Amino acid sequence: MQLSTKHLLGIKDISREDISLILSTARQFKEVLQRPVKKVPSLREVTIVNLFYENSTRTRISFELAEKRLSADTINFSTSASSVSKGETLLDTVNNILSMKVDMVVMRHSASGAPHFLAKHIPAAIVNAGDGINEHPTQALLDAFSIEEKLGSLAGKKVALIGDIMHSRVALSNIHLLNKMGAEVMVAGPPTLIPKYIGEALNVKVEYDLKKALQWCDVANVLRIQLERQNQVLFSSLREYNLAYGVSRKMLDSLGKEIIIMHPGPINRGVEIDSDVADGHQSIILQQVENGVAVRMAVLYLLAGKRE
Ligand code: CP
């Protein structure tokens, strides 16, 4: 089987069948990653550049590790050590890199739509590693993989995305993916951090009361307050945000049921989630990170098979 797409720009653009294929391929790669020798020769002929115009810990390391496990040749690019600081454009930078015979580009950028722009102008396969407030498709795929691992399937499961929905590319990719795979989706948080009309536009429930959201869901995916993307005051203080919307041990204990706690990272401990929840027995935060490598191996392997 093959993907229907040459690039992975967003979950919005791919089919339910594409998602199922990526997740089933990732399950095979997760088995490879349990072996003493964790490397396969699948991408021995492929060169990949990791083009990170915005900071990253998990995604950048996870892609690089996935590429190495697949035996690809990799190049890492970060803006601070490049000629971007001398005024070079995105397209010039990428065309210069491609002239050195690069096959695939993994890109993170603060501008929404930057990978879509590149895909229109260059022949290499593009993987979106997070673009502005638009999408973070491999995060949604690894979140889905992690939920399936815990609960068996996504269909019919109730997933609440909690926090700064307005500025979250993780939220948008998760909403598209969970809807396509038949899960029920709720967004919860302060009204100022939830876009108006999101309920009808994206087929999600909207809840402003954290406890009601936690009582409703099987899985709570807690999102970071994206202070770096906010140019106006959208809540009174981090302390007050924590009191109203921080997921605490006391609140989880009051639910009368066990839910799964997820977070894409980086975590703001004591703001959107308390430490004893992030590190507690219901949390699968580090399993998400672990699964990211297998999921990214699957994405790169399947896209490499689509190259002309
Ligand atoms: N989840 C995520 O994208 O983390 P990084 O910003 O560290 O890559």
Q: What is the pLDDT of residue 83?
A: 81
Residues 72 and 91 in one domain: yes
Q: What is the pLDDT of residue 235?
A: 74
Residues 142 and 271 in one domain: yes
DSSP 35: S
Question: Residue 116: CA atoms inside 13 Å, Cβ hemisphere, count?
Answer: 14
Residues 181 and 250 in one domain: yes
pLDDT band at 3 (very low <50, low <70, confident <90, very high): very high
139 CB within 6 A, ligand 1: yes
292 CB within 6 A, ligand 1: no
Residues 261 and 119 in one domain: no
Residues 168 and 246 in one domain: yes
58 CB within 6 A, ligand 1: yes
Q: What is the pLDDT of residue 283?
A: 98
Residues 279 and 175 in one domain: yes
Residues 131 and 82 in one domain: yes
Q: Take residue 127 and report the two structure tokens written for it.
A: 């993987």
Distance (Å, whole) CA 173 – CA 121? 24
Identify whether 297 is part of a domain: yes
Q: What share of the chain is helix, strand, coil (3-state, %, to 5)?
A: 45, 15, 40
266 CB within 6 A, ligand 1: yes
61 CB within 6 A, ligand 1: no
pLDDT at position 226 over 80: no
Distance (Å, whole) CA 100 – CA 106? 16
Q: What is the pLDDT of residue 78?
A: 82
75-93, pLDDT tens digit by residue? 998 887 778 878 889 999 9
Q: How many CB atoms lie within 10 A of CB 272?
A: 24
Identify whether 5 is part of a domain: no
Q: What is the pLDDT of residue 229?
A: 65
Q: Take residue 11 and report the two structure tokens written for it.
A: 């979950």
**Residues of the domain holding 193:** 137-287
Identify whether 2 is part of a domain: no
Residues 157 and 273 in one domain: yes
- What does the mean pLDDT of the chain come to? 95
Closest to 7 measured CA to CA, from 120, 164, 133: 120
Residues 17 and 152 in one domain: no
Q: Which of 58, 222, 224 to mutate to test the pocket of ligand 1 (most atoms within 8 A of CB)?
A: 58
Closest to 8 measured CA to CA, from 98, 112, 115, 82: 115
Tell me what percent of the residues of the chain surpass a pLDDT of 90: 88
Higher pLDDT pick, 138 / 98: 138
In which region does residue 243 sit, left (phi positive, over 0), alpha (psi from -120 to 50) or beta (all else)? alpha
| Domains in the chain, number | 2
Residues 157 and 271 in one domain: yes
Residues 28 and 117 in one domain: yes
Q: Which of 59, 110, 138 to mutate to test the pocket of ligand 1 (most atoms within 8 A of CB)?
A: 59
CATH number of the structural domain spanning residue 184:
3.40.50.1370
221 CB within 6 A, ligand 1: no
Residues 126 and 36 in one domain: yes
264 CB within 6 A, ligand 1: yes
